[in-house]
Structure 1
Amino acid sequence: MARNILPVLLAASASLVGATPPGIPSTSVAETQLEALTVAAAGSGSDYDRDLFPHWISQGDSCDTRDLVLVRDGTNVETGSGCSIDSGSWYSEYDGATWTQASDLDIDHMVPLANAWRSGASEWTTDEREAFANDLDIPQLIAVTDNVNQQKSDSGPEEWVPPLTSYHCTYGKMWVNVKYTYGLSVTQAEKSALEGLLDTC
């Protein structure tokens, strides 16, 4: 699963202003994907454990998934030995804040692991949950202000959306795409909230 992609990410990071996760669909595609999602009541979270989703796995070159997202989402990011993030700046799309210390950033799972568990991931294998928690190919991972991510916790869009209203459209499209890609269900309240977010596009 490890991939030697750090040089590519380092080259790309110099031109980025904010985080731009891959695979964000157009509004029309997101609307189609949303309509295809199964609407169902949330499952039980009583047996959820974050450790059931192995995350920040090795991605090669001594880097883990968190490191690669920080490099991808930052500007002028420099790494040291062991893929340590030595310097850079990061614009948090959720709240519009800019940071120069990687420790001020969390890597948000767009669809939180606990939410995924309640909407279908409880039936997955550990390997499938690991792939979900470290997916760099869809808009599932994004570097954002740590305390803002902590406010989000495992909430769906019916309970929490980014403080920066200009990001609501993109947030909705990303959430829908992740759920669609992994065949996860949505509650009726969640679907209604996503329709509202897409209406802002």
Structure 2
Amino acid sequence: MRRVAILATATAVMFTVTTVTTSPAANALTPPNIPSASTASSELAALTVDVERNAGTYDRDLFPHWITISGACNTRETVLKRDGTSVVTNSSCAATSGRWTSPYDGATWTAASDVDIDHMVPLAEAWRSGAYAWTTSKRQSFANDLTNAQLWAVTDNVNQSKGDSDPASWKPSLTSFWCTYARAYIDVKYEWGLTVQSAEKSALSTMLGTC
């Protein structure tokens, strides 16, 4: 069955598979350690500006995920529980019910299958920005990073539209989220020692200007 997103104005519309509404991105739960705008600005200034390299050698399997975090719960399931509300899981840690608001587009979902876990800095982007030189162990840590604001529960097709794009070529449709997006994106690149392209840095600076 094909999902149809509805921009709700008065009442939520119930579907047999999922419920879709829109709500402000501010209602979404967020990952930890998102820096202030001033800190992010300092971090952006400290990033090395360089061209991307080794795009043709990228392979998603070089970033092992999702890994077990605790008990039966892997990284995806951990983020779904962290960023959702009233999340119920079964004995395998799979979410059987809950509510997730995607900060990228403001849509709210009640089926975990409609939610992707997005890497704020895409894996392919990280590869081109320096991760090609990392060990597989370090790339695994990056792909499952729960310490920084790298993993976000978002609408699945929005995540797919982002793909491996950096902010020079893709930004969330909700301009009200640009400030948070830039702060998180910059911090991940800073914490992991990744480079930025000139156009990417300019786009991030513009997004910080909305803070």
Larger Rg: 2
Corresponding position of 1:81:
91
TM-superposed deviation, 1:159: 0.2
Corresponding position of 1:27:
37
Corresponding position of 2:111:
101
Aligned pairs, number: 186
Take 2:36 and 2:49, find their aligned partners in 1: how far apart are those partners? 22
Q: 1:78-129: per-residue Cα shift (whole Å, max 9, x none)?
A: 1111111111000000000000000000000000000000000000000000
Take 2:155 and 2:37, find their aligned partners in 1: how far apart are those partners? 26
Corresponding position of 1:200:
210
Look up the SS of the partner of 1:86 in the other structure: strand
Q: State, as a whole percentage, how many aligned pairs show the same letter.
A: 60
More helix by share: 1
RMSD: 0.9
Take 2:165 and 2:201, find their aligned partners in 1: how far apart are those partners? 13
Q: How does 1:180-191 map to 2 (within 5 A)?
A: 180-191=190-201
Q: 1:154-197: per-residue Cα shift (whole Å, max 9, x none)?
A: 00000000001100000000000000000000000000000000
Take 1:34 and 1:64, find their aligned partners in 2: how far apart are those partners? 31
User: 1:63 aligned to 2:73?
Assistant: yes
TM-superposed deviation, 1:18: 1.1
Take 1:75 and 1:62, find their aligned partners in 2: how far apart are those partners? 20
Q: How does 1:142-161 map to 2 (within 5 A)?
A: 142-161=152-171
AA partner of residue 120 (structure 2): M
AA partner of residue 28 (structure 2): G
TM-superposed deviation, 1:153: 0.1
Corresponding position of 1:18:
28
Taking structure 1 as the reference length, the TM-score comes to: 0.91
TM-superposed deviation, 1:17: 3.9
Take 2:141 and 2:166, find their aligned partners in 1: how far apart are those partners? 21
Take 2:200 and 2:29, find their aligned partners in 1: how far apart are those partners? 24
Q: Which runs of 5+ in 2 are unaligned?
A: 1-25
Corresponding position of 2:61:
51
Moved over 3 A (4+): none
Look up the SS of the partner of 2:32 in the other structure: coil
Look up the SS of the partner of 1:21 in the other structure: coil
